[in-house]
Amino acid sequence: MKTSCLSAAALVLLQLAAAQPHRQNVHKHVQRSPAKEVVILKQNGVPISTYTQEAGGSPTPAPAPAPEPEVKNKGAKAPNSYAPPAPSPKEDYSPSDEPASGNGISYTPFNDDRSCKTQDEVNSDFESIDGYSLIRLYGTECDQVTTVGNAAKAKGMKLYVGIANDKVLSPDQTANYGSIQSQCEAISQAVGGSWDLIDTVGVGNEMVQTGVASGEVVKAIHAAKDALKGKGYDGNVVTADTFVAMIDSPDICKASDYAAANCHPYFDGHVQPENAGEWVKQQAKNVGDKCGKKVVITETGWPTQGGANGNAQPSKENQETVVSGIKEAFSDNPSGVIFFSAFNEAWKEDTGATNGVEKYWGVLSN
């Protein structure tokens, strides 16, 4: 296939984004459905991201990530001293006995000023969350596995809990085994050793898309599996990444218990809202064909405010069309899709580099 080089302007944007602290559920990728041209973004001569575009097309600059909320009592990282055992191809990390059966939706427990929401505030949010069977989280800060777990359990929902990227990786972008082990211990303590609430444990989000070597991600997945198995958990352990990264680096989905692919039609730039459902389903099929296993779309949606990306125009009307179309496309497999996100997230920073959309993905927001 033809390979294109990164333009100077795009490289400047990429370097600026890389210099900022990243938030694990911030959109920072350009997606293109399979076409005639593969573009490999490079920094200092090293490939850090790959996507496809139509021959002769120009990608929209990827939004810059927002900083992580500053919360108190986050805890110190565990020493990077744990070495995982060599993975066995015969190990079977079976899914939970009662997996989530309906659509999922993501949620973050932060107030607009980035402070942690209380149990009462989380409960109040959950009064509006109906018609979903799974809640996706991105980290353990703010004691969210406990507070969100309590609210989810009261409504018969399950959790996809997450280990944040900065708890998965060391500063040199290698798997931080001690920190992973500590995070698994924190999750185990939050659920009291009773794993019925947990559908999936997610090890990072979009790490390969942002330049982490896939081999390090695979090591992190196996380290988490080993630590969690020692705590009595035998459910799903995955890493989530963009569908493009999954197809380009199938080792990360093969190491996961299912292929967890983020897939946003808005970032493609060519998908009309009325076609979004079938487009997302096609990308899920492409990932499944490459990975050879079950696929869950772990993020998808449409922004309601901000700038257009090619033909993709943010609006509430378009979001409703997209969400309805995706639900229809996955009507035979509703647990195969997690929407992003429950509410708008005013705690995030939005700049020109993020196309003005970062705060405005709330499916349940006005």
- Residues annotated as catalytic (active site), given as ranges: 299
Fill in the amino acid letter for 32.
R
Residue with tokens 């779309």: 297
Q: Tokens for 295, please give them.
A: 């696929």
Task: Confirm if 50 and 42 have CB atoms less than 8 A apart.
Answer: no
* Sequence-separated (6 or more) residues with CB below 8 Å from residue 285: 295
* Sequence-separated (6 or more) residues with CB below 8 Å from residue 333: none
CB burial string 342-363: b at 16+ within 10 A, e below: bbbbebbebeebbbbbbbbbbb
Count the Cβ atoms, other than its own, within 10 Å of residue 130. Answer: 8
Strands 134-136 and 158-163: parallel
In angstroms, the Cα distances linking 19 to 1, 63, 214, 235 are: 31, 13, 21, 36
What gap in Å lies between CA 252 and CA 31, rounded to an integer? 18
Residue with tokens 């609210």: 151
What is the secondary structure of 82-133 as a DSSP string? --PPPPPTT---PPPSS---S-EEE---B-TTSPBPPHHHHHHHHTT--S-S
Phi, psi of 276 (to 5 degrees): -65, -40
* Sequence-separated (6 or more) residues with CB below 8 Å from residue 191: 145, 149, 197, 198
Fill in the amino acid letter for 97.
D
